[in-house]
A and B are shown apart, each in its own frame.
Chain A
Amino acid sequence: MVSTNRMSTTVEAAEIVLRDCFLAGLAGDAAQYRAFLEGLTGHMRAYLRRRLPKAQDDVEDILQETLLAVHNARHTYREGQPLTAWLHAIARYKLMDFFRAHARREALHDPFDDEHERIFAASDDEPANARRDIGVLLETLPDRHRLPIVFVKLQGLSVAEASLASGMSESAIKVGVHRGLKALAARLRGDA
Chain B
Amino acid sequence: MKTERLIDMLATDGSVADQPTPSRRFGIAVLGGIAAAVVLMALGLGIRPDIGIVVHAAMFWIRVGFAVAMLATALVAATRLARPGVTAAPGLAAIAMPVALIWALAAFVLVQAPEGSRLALLLGHTWRVCPPLIAALSVPAFVAMFWAMRGMAPVRLRLAGAVAGLAAGAAAVIAYCLHCPEMAPPFWALWYLSGMLIPAVVGSLLGPRFLRW
Chain A interface residues toward B at CB < 8 A? 22, 25-30, 33-34, 36-38, 41, 60, 63-64, 67-69, 71-78, 81-82, 85-90, 92-93, 97, 127, 129-130, 133-136, 138, 149, 152-154, 156, 174, 177-178, 181-182, 185-186, 189, 191
Measured between alpha carbons, how far is A146 from B11 in the docked complex, in Å? 17
Q: Contact between B152 and A76 (Cβ–Cβ < 8 Å)?
A: yes
Q: Contact between B84 and A89 (Cβ–Cβ < 8 Å)?
A: yes
Measured between alpha carbons, how far is A151 from B10 in the docked complex, in Å? 13
Top 3 nearest A-B pairs (CB, nearest first) are: A33-B14, A89-B84, A25-B14
Instruction: Decide if B16 is an interface residue (CB 8 Å cutoff).
Output: yes
Please, which residue of chain A has its CB at the minimum distance from the CB of B10? A71
Q: Contact between A26 and B14 (Cβ–Cβ < 8 Å)?
A: yes
B213 CB to closest chain A CB, in angstroms?
Answer: 7
Contact with A along B1-39 (1 / 0, CB 8 A): 111111111111111111101100000000000000000
Instruction: Decide if B89 is an interface residue (CB 8 Å cutoff).
Output: no
Q: Which residues of B contact A29 (CB under 8 A)?
A: 14
Q: Which residues of A contact B7 (CB under 8 A)?
A: 34, 37-38, 41, 67
Please, which residue of chain A has its CB at the minimum distance from the CB of B20? A75
Q: Contact between B82 and A76 (Cβ–Cβ < 8 Å)?
A: yes
Please, which residue of chain B has its CB at the minimum distance from the CB of A83? B85
Instruction: Decide if B155 is an interface residue (CB 8 Å cutoff).
Output: yes
Q: A38-B7, A76-B153 are in contact. Are A90 and B18 (CB under 8 A)?
A: no
Measured between alpha carbons, how far is A122 from B86 in the docked complex, in Å? 24
Most chain B beta-carbon neighbours within 10 Å: one of A69, A74, A97: A74
Q: Which residues of B contact A88 (CB under 8 A)?
A: 85
Measured between alpha carbons, how far is A67 from B16 in the docked complex, in Å? 16
Q: Which residues of A contact B86 (CB under 8 A)?
A: 78, 81, 85
Residues from 169 to 213 in B contacting A, C-beta threshold 8 Å: 212-213
A-B contact list, 10 entries, CB within 8 Å: A26-B16, A27-B15, A30-B12, A34-B11, A41-B7, A81-B86, A133-B1, A135-B1, A186-B213, A189-B212
Q: Contact between B153 and A149 (Cβ–Cβ < 8 Å)?
A: no
Q: Which residues of B contact A90 (CB under 8 A)?
A: 84-85, 153, 155
Q: Contact between A30 and B14 (Cβ–Cβ < 8 Å)?
A: yes
A156 CB to closest chain B CB, in angstroms?
Answer: 6
Q: Which residues of B contact A127 (CB under 8 A)?
A: 2-4
One of A30, A67, A138, A191 near B212 (C-beta < 8 A): A191
Q: Which residues of A contact B16 (CB under 8 A)?
A: 26, 74-75
Q: A30-B13, A73-B84, A153-B10 are in contact. Are A130 and B3 (CB under 8 A)?
A: yes
Please, which residue of chain B has its CB at the minimum distance from the CB of A174? B18
Q: Contact between B213 and A72 (Cβ–Cβ < 8 Å)?
A: yes
Measured between alpha carbons, how far is A48 from B213 in the docked complex, in Å? 20
Q: Which residues of B contact A30 (CB under 8 A)?
A: 11-14
Q: Contact between A85 and B10 (Cβ–Cβ < 8 Å)?
A: no
Q: Which residues of B contact A130 (CB under 8 A)?
A: 1-3
